[in-house]
Structure 1
Amino acid sequence: MKMIDEQIEPDNSTSILSYQLRSPLTSIKAALGLLLTGKLDPQTEKGQLLLQIAAKNADRLVRLSAAFNEEDISLLEIISRAEMDRLLLEVDLLSAWKNQEFEVFYQPIVCVESETITGFEALLRWRHPRRGLVSPVEFIPIAEKTLLIHELGIWVLREACFQLRQWQNKFPRKQALTVSVNVSTSQLLDGNFVKRVELICQEMDIFPETLRLEVTESSALGDSEEAIAALGQLKDLGIKIYLDDFGTGYSCLSRLYQLSIDSLKIDRSFVSQHQWDLIRSIEIIARSLGVQTITEGVENATQLAQLKLLGCKLMQGYFFSEPVDAEKAELLLLNPVCC
């Protein structure tokens, strides 16, 4: 069966199916290949996950292959349009990693009191050759499912730390610039993750105290003892831990205190919905815990003024800058911040 690489016509069912077959095959090969290297025990949680991925894709492959022998079977009886789109994206995502189609963008975190940029959040972007920039909302879940998130995450961390070192050298200040990088639960469960982070800090010659790792509430406050232990080890290195999208999940305040979270990032939805009382409550909680807050999603002067009245000091959002590449981010450091 010939695999095609040209752009797929939506009404060409046979071509779409032959294109789709590459995704299950790739997933099976990747999952079993990793197990066959002997670096991962099939009896571990991650090993079992890989086996499940291989089994699920083997079943999908059988169903897709059967379609070629059943002319009366509708394509949508075999696979939904949504699943088809996801599979196409999965194929492209694996190719993107090989073809180096990923970029790191940076969005400034601003102190509105001093009107200065204190640091940046590093954000992964995928520049698809046909679709342009693909939203992380679309491809990050696929990267986590295929375990590509581990290599992607380390690559982003290395790129961000390298860029931070350049900026710290070029823009020395009493309070050094910082960079924050998002980390998934699966990364925290990787037994080598903490060591790899430590080695990157050494390799890029940055102080761990200027690196922040952002985790979700489920990662930090969930039941995984391995993830919680990893967070503790990262803090022992001097790395700061930010709790992202705070308030959107179930927050256990006693666990927050236990983990010594360094900053709560107030979710952008609270700002867009003008939930000022809730934001004020989070500020009060943060002060009682002795942690700072960063308010996300600031998009206009009215929101900025209201947040200042609530005591918010660190902010992030399109009012200051959208996420930009490293070159444009450097220009932001050269110009005063409008607050």
Structure 2
Amino acid sequence: MSVKILIVDDYEDNRYTLKRRLKRDGYKECDEAENGQIALEMMSKKQYDLILLDLMMPIMDGFEVLEHMKLKDEFRHLPVIMISAADDLEKIAQGIALGAEDYLPKPFNPIILKARVKSALEKRSRSLDQINALTFKDASTGLFNEAYLLQDSFKNELETKLDSKELGLVEIFFEKYSVLTSSLGKASADLYLKTQLERIQAEFADLGELYVISPGRFVFLACEYESLDALVNRLQDLINHTKIGVEINSVSVIEELKVGVSIEKSFDKGLSAALHHVNVARLQANQFMPLSFYDDAMASSVVDKLKLEADLRKAILNDELILHYQPQVHAKTGKVCAAEALVRWVHPEKGMISPFHFIPIAEESGMIVELGKSVIRKATHQIELWQNSYEGEWCFPISVNVSAQHVAQPELVGYIASLLEKHNLKTSMLKVELTESALVEDETGTRNVLNAMQETGLKISLDDFGTGFSSLSYLLELPLDQLKIDKMFVDNLVHDERSRSVFKHVVNLAHDLKLEVVVEGVEDEEQLNLINQSNVDFIQGYYFYKPLPADDFFDVIEGQ
């Protein structure tokens, strides 16, 4: 790329002499301006690398030009060499104070001219390199960043390189980076990321250069791949490679990489559109499908999900969620003795939305704790209303589900205690249900919270038993009061003798450990008969009752 120099002097002979000598030194692209005003107009239309500026000129002198340049950010790193008589020291000092780089004395000495031009251009080059490093490189990884990718010059270079070929844009996301940042600190997380990136750059250089978009999020521009199948196979290898444990603070971290791919045929809408496509694809990747490809329908799905997330946030904030209560019956008498509170969302436009749809959104977006608080708050308030309306002593405890994120927070115990006190309720009127996943995510923190709950008298139920791992160890070690056997077991009882055998052993073990047993998902009489052969305590399912609004549940209690 040629160097562009602007010579500003009111004497044509001076401009001619400087231009001729500069061309001899290899600087072929030299423009001229006869005063400061013309120079500023030319500088606004063309990007120069160096200005040779006479200080004393009519219309607008060199000092005024320097004053104007100080006000413009685009001229901040543009070097200026003043042209002045050798004895005008006071003017030279004034020019330097206004931002000039150096000065060139009259008459012009070709050796001095060459040396000072070279020095100014080298200094500008170093300065621009530093700026580019700050602007276009990530400090933690040393990789070029998104700002670098979005330059017009990079897009043009990429289009030339592709020459009508397709580009495989690949986004990878390290799930464990944010987990390590919050648990072990940024330094440990950065070390983990550095190790993973070094492995990838050593083993998967064929995928192309790696660029950083945000912490833990990177993209490849895969230009050279034989076929789509070959690219997919290589990315599968990448996913498996990142699963090799990385030792951080004596902890072996196993990555769960998520990968999105977008095949781009052109960049008519800019590279930012392509980066959006591949990000949408990566957001659709999950534990069971870690590699996802972009299509237009996917983008629409993501937009719908974002809208639903915003509506859910509003619903939680405005206390618009409602609770239904699914009765639990005593296995021997068939009478209702308790219930589970189940959150429901009636969307103003979409109607009833399944919790299987909005609960994962709440978990992913960080709203699950606030949602959990809302459920506990509504449930305790409702129990108080029932208690005040019931003739006799209200003795029908309500179970509330607590998420993995919520149960790990020490303040949960105090929050529940304050609501029980506010509504004048015994601790026996509320049960806390948690799943095995809550125990896996933060076992130590969860144990501490559960022990604190037990000290206050709260009853704890382990929900969805049999769908996770290490269930038996939890039964032995945790302060549990109740075990809820998952519907999965119930569905298999009728047709699978081994399931019936396991079911009986689980019930007997729970009873030996002084745990109550609740069976979920009972839907027909044949299932009920088999369950009753195992001497369970309570049953919950559509065979008896579906989840009921609060008033209907109260009517059931009064009618029995």
TM-score after normalising by structure 2? 0.47
Equivalent-residue separation in structure 2 for 1:46 and 1:118 (angstroms): 46
Equivalent-residue separation in structure 2 for 1:268 and 1:204 (angstroms): 33
| Structure 1 residues 78 and 215: CA distance shift in structure 2, 3 A | closer
Equivalent-residue separation in structure 2 for 1:216 and 1:46 (angstroms): 25
Question: 1:79 is matched by which residue type in structure 2?
Answer: V
Alignment pair present for 1:130 and 2:354: no
Q: What residue number does 2:337 align with? A: 118
Q: How far 1:99 moved relative to its partner?
A: 4.3
Equivalent-residue separation in structure 2 for 1:89 and 1:193 (angstroms): 27
| Structure 1 residues 225 and 281: CA distance shift in structure 2, 3 A | same
Q: Are the equivalent residues in 2 in contact too, given 1:108–1:121 (CA < 8 A)?
A: yes
Q: What residue number does 1:242 align with? A: 461
Q: What residue number does 1:23 align with? A: none
Q: What residue number does 2:514 align with? A: 290
In terms of fraction of residues, the more strand-rich structure is 2
2:367 to 142, 148, 156: 148
- Match of 2:543, SS state, is coil
Question: 1:114 is matched by which residue type in structure 2?
Answer: T
- Match of 1:107, SS state, is strand
- Match of 1:295, SS state, is strand
* Alpha-carbon RMSD: 3.4
Equivalent-residue separation in structure 1 for 2:385 and 2:503 (angstroms): 35
Q: What residue number does 1:79 align with? A: 280
Q: What residue number does 1:227 align with? A: 446
| Structure 1 residues 306 and 181: CA distance shift in structure 2, 3 A | same
Matches within 5 A, 1:31-110: 44-45=182-183, 69=270, 79-80=280-281, 81=298, 82-110=301-329
Q: Which moved more, 1:307-316 or 1:73-82?
A: 73-82
Question: 2:280 is matched by which residue type in structure 1?
Answer: I
Q: How far 1:173 moved relative to its partner?
A: 5.6
Alignment pair present for 1:218 and 2:437: yes
Q: Deviations over 1:111-165 (max 9, x none)?
A: 0323221111111111112221111122112212222122211111011111112
Q: How far 1:172 moved relative to its partner?
A: 5.5
For CA contacts below 8 A with separation 6 or more, give which structure has more relative contact order: 1
Equivalent-residue separation in structure 2 for 1:127 and 1:56 (angstroms): 37
Q: What residue number does 1:51 align with? A: none
Aligned length: 288
Q: Are the equivalent residues in 2 in contact too, given 1:183–1:214 (CA < 8 A)?
A: yes
Alignment pair present for 1:319 and 2:543: yes
Q: Which moved more, 1:233-242 or 1:98-107?
A: 98-107
Q: Are the equivalent residues in 1 in contact too, given 2:341–2:398 (CA < 8 A)?
A: yes
Q: How far 1:295 moved relative to its partner?
A: 0.2
Q: What residue number does 1:253 align with? A: 472
Q: How far 1:244 moved relative to its partner?
A: 0.2
Question: 1:127 is matched by which residue type in structure 2?
Answer: V
Equivalent-residue separation in structure 2 for 1:328 and 1:47 (angstroms): 50
- Match of 1:273, SS state, is helix
Q: Which moved more, 1:78-87 or 1:203-212?
A: 78-87
Equivalent-residue separation in structure 2 for 1:135 and 1:46 (angstroms): 36
Q: Deviations over 1:39-63 (max 9, x none)?
A: xxxx754998xxxxxx57999xxx9
- Match of 2:461, SS state, is strand
Percent identity, aligned pairs only, is: 32
Q: Which moved more, 1:238-247 or 1:95-104?
A: 95-104
Equivalent-residue separation in structure 2 for 1:200 and 1:45 (angstroms): 30
Equivalent-residue separation in structure 2 for 1:279 and 1:240 (angstroms): 23
Equivalent-residue separation in structure 1 for 2:217 and 2:275 (angstroms): 20
Q: Deviations over 1:254-287 (max 9, x none)?
A: 4322222101100011112223222212111111
Q: How far 1:74 moved relative to its partner?
A: 11
Q: Are the equivalent residues in 1 in contact too, given 2:316–2:370 (CA < 8 A)?
A: no
- Name structure 1 gaps, 5 residues minimum: 1-42, 49-54
1:277 to 501, 509, 512: 501
- Match of 1:294, SS state, is strand
Q: Are the equivalent residues in 1 in contact too, given 2:339–2:397 (CA < 8 A)?
A: yes
- Name structure 2 gaps, 5 residues minimum: 1-180, 187-213, 219-261, 282-297, 494-498
| Structure 1 residues 125 and 257: CA distance shift in structure 2, 3 A | same
Alignment pair present for 1:303 and 2:504: no
Q: Are the equivalent residues in 2 in contact too, given 1:221–1:252 (CA < 8 A)?
A: no
Equivalent-residue separation in structure 2 for 1:72 and 1:124 (angstroms): 38
Q: Which moved more, 1:304-313 or 1:79-88?
A: 79-88
Equivalent-residue separation in structure 2 for 1:292 and 1:221 (angstroms): 23
TM-score after normalising by structure 1? 0.75
- Rg larger for: 2
